Amino acid sequence: MSYPAGYRIERERPRRRQSGETARLKAIQAAIELFAVGGYGGTSIADVAAKTGLSQSGLLHHFPSKTALLSAVLEHRSKEDADFLFDGEQAPLGWEAFDAMVSLVARNSTRPDWVGLFVRLSAEATEPGHPAHQWLLDHYSSLRRWLGEALEDGKVHGDVAQDAPVEAIVNNTIAVLDGMQQQWLCAPGSFSMVAQFRTFIESIKTTWG
Amino acid sequence: MSYPAGYRIERERPRRRQSGETARLKAIQAAIELFAVGGYGGTSIADVAAKTGLSQSGLLHHFPSKTALLSAVLEHRSKEDADFLFDGEQAPLGWEAFDAMVSLVARNSTRPDWVGLFVRLSAEATEPGHPAHQWLLDHYSSLRRWLGEALEDGKVHGDVAQDAPVEAIVNNTIAVLDGMQQQWLCAPGSFSMVAQFRTFIESIKTTWG
DNA sequence: GTCTATACCTCGATAGAC
DNA sequence: GTCTATCGAGGTATAGAC
């Protein structure tokens, strides 16, 4: 059975009840903002529900449990980060990868909630039993792989010194990124994350370029 | 009024009830280990009491509130850190300050509980309302001051390049320290914090030495 | 899809006996 | 110095009406 073009079975109609998808997105956004301040453990689903404009049970209709909500938040975050960094294109290699990280820092500077979300969750999720633990491991692992490959590629092309300690450079880059955000949260606006991160990148380029 | 040497008014006597000081120290140690895993918000005073070998109320006899316990923990930590780094002597200046930081990292490598304590608490305490917020600000502020002075002194003595961006170097050093510990907690023993931190220090020495 | 009501737990803190 | 008992608040999750 087929229909002529333009024919729609389900036409748009005004409705009081928002669609499940709308409610989910609103809730995820609310959860991001609240987790960013209180972390996962310090935020109640009632808080998220209130910010979403739902009762607690109303929220639990869309996310059967608090951890389900967390999973949705993490998935959302990972996706947006990947979209920003790569956006369908090939991941940059060589020092360009580190320049891409600078862009990421610039983007983060405009999104305190995302910085807070990561800083809080990653500290909590260090613990093996935490519901975001695996996510955190995956996050680090993919970041390490990408930056590691970028440096190895740079060695092949002669942009990176042959004796550059890849693992240490990669880990330190990630460490600067995370530690800087931690400091920045204490006093947002007290320094430029971009400028500071650039200083770091310049230093490693100078040393192992 | 004076007593002959060797004469003691209060002689040691066996007692069932431990002294207040003993109980306090036991509780602080227990709290450190528990805060290191669950953070401040994620740890109940009942947990601390159990680990100390007291009932919840028994613990609250020594620390009138949960925040009082936290304060004692923070004070304890700050003191031990200062003792380790300076130990009554003058704080080292120039690049020696950064070498001292390497020693600190080496010490931390043997104390996962301290690393955990700092990572969790500092992430929570980023929030202005957190009971450890001021402590965190003070911690960063004193660390920044010391490392900043060290670099300025190095400039005077010609060990540090005149155009070295002091603030960025200092902040990045602290960032590496913090971020590295965060990664290390995810998989303690998966890499050497000392070696990695040395790589960072070498890089900045190379660039601005 | 959203709500109220509720079950059941844990938490921080206080009161008061020993 | 340590305990039991208890209060009141707030947490997750479920049942069931609309």
Is A161 touching B (CB cutoff 8 A)?
no
User: pLDDT at position B176, please?
Assistant: 99
User: pLDDT at position B1, please?
Assistant: 42
Q: Is B174 exposed, middle or buried (0-12, 13-18, 19+ CB in 10 A)?
A: buried
**Which residue spans of chain B are classified as CATH 1.10.10.60?**
14-73
The pLDDT confidence band at residue B5, using thresholds 50, 70 and 90, is low
User: pLDDT at position A151, please?
Assistant: 98
User: pLDDT at position B15, please?
Assistant: 53
**What pLDDT, in 10s, does the model give residues A46-70?**
999 999 999 999 999 999 999 999 9
The pLDDT confidence band at residue B11, using thresholds 50, 70 and 90, is very low
User: pLDDT at position A184, please?
Assistant: 98
Average pLDDT over residues B98-113: 97
Q: Which of A81-85, A184-188, B69-73, B158-162 has the lowest mean pLDDT?
A: A81-85
Q: What count of Cα atoms within 13 Å lies in the side-chain half-sphere of residue B94?
A: 9
Return the CATH fold of A90-209.
Tetracycline Repressor; domain 2 (1.10.357)
Contact A179 B174 (CB under 8 A): yes
Query: Three-state secondary structure along A43-81?
Result: CCHHHHHHHHCCCHHHHHHHCCCHHHHHHHHHHHHHHHH
CB under 7 Å from any atom of strand D: which residues?
Answer: A 43-47, 56-57, 60, 64-67; B 17-20, 23, 49, 53-58, 61-62
**Which residue spans of chain A are classified as CATH 1.10.357?**
90-209
Q: What is the largest CA-CA distance in chain B?
A: 66
The pLDDT confidence band at residue B16, using thresholds 50, 70 and 90, is low
User: pLDDT at position B37, please?
Assistant: 98
In this predicted structure, the answer to whether residue A86 has a pLDDT above a threshold of 70 is yes
Nearest chain B Cα to A37, which residue? B127
CA distance B5 to chain A (A): 54
Cβ of residue B67 near strand C, that is under 7 Å?
yes
Is A120 touching B (CB cutoff 8 A)?
yes
Instruction: Please list every residue in chain A whose beta carbon sits closer than 8 Å to the beta carbon of residue B168.
Output: 195-196, 199-200
φ, ψ at A45 (rounded to 5°): -65, -25
Cβ-based contacts (< 7 Å) between B 31-60 and strand C: 43-47, 56-57, 60
In this predicted structure, the answer to whether residue B14 has a pLDDT above a threshold of 80 is no
**What pLDDT, in 10s, does the model give residues A117-150?**
999 999 999 999 999 999 999 999 999 999 999 9
CA distance B160 to chain A (A): 14
Tokens of B110: 């043997």
In this predicted structure, the answer to whether residue A2 has a pLDDT above a threshold of 90 is no
User: pLDDT at position A20, please?
Assistant: 81
Distance A122 CA to D10 C1' (A): 26
User: pLDDT at position B130, please?
Assistant: 98
**What pLDDT, in 10s, does the model give residues B149-203?**
999 999 999 999 999 999 999 999 999 999 999 999 999 999 999 999 999 999 9
Quote the CATH superfamily of domain A14-73. Answer: Homeodomain-like (1.10.10.60)
In this predicted structure, the answer to whether residue A5 has a pLDDT above a threshold of 90 is no
The pLDDT confidence band at residue B2, using thresholds 50, 70 and 90, is very low
Q: Which nucleotides of C are covered by protein (CB under 7 A)?
A: 1-5, 10-16
**What pLDDT, in 10s, does the model give residues B115-128?**
999 999 999 999 99
Question: What Å distances lie between residue B102 and A190, B174, B176, B202, CA to CA?
Answer: 27, 12, 11, 11
User: pLDDT at position B9, please?
Assistant: 42
Is B38 touching A (CB cutoff 8 A)?
yes
| Interfacial A residues in 81-100 facing B (CB < 8 Å) | none
Nearest to A147 by CA among A120, A176, A123, A126: A176
Average pLDDT over residues B124-141: 98
Average pLDDT over residues A15-44: 92
**What pLDDT, in 10s, does the model give residues B42-83?**
999 999 999 999 999 999 999 999 999 999 999 999 999 989
Is A177 touching B (CB cutoff 8 A)?
yes
Helical segments of A110-165, H only: 112-124, 133-157
User: pLDDT at position B102, please?
Assistant: 98
Residue nearest to nucleotide C14 (CA to C1'): B57
Query: What distance in Å separates the CA atoms of residue B42 and residue A39, rounded to the nearest whole number?
Result: 10
| Residue A86 one-letter amino acid | F
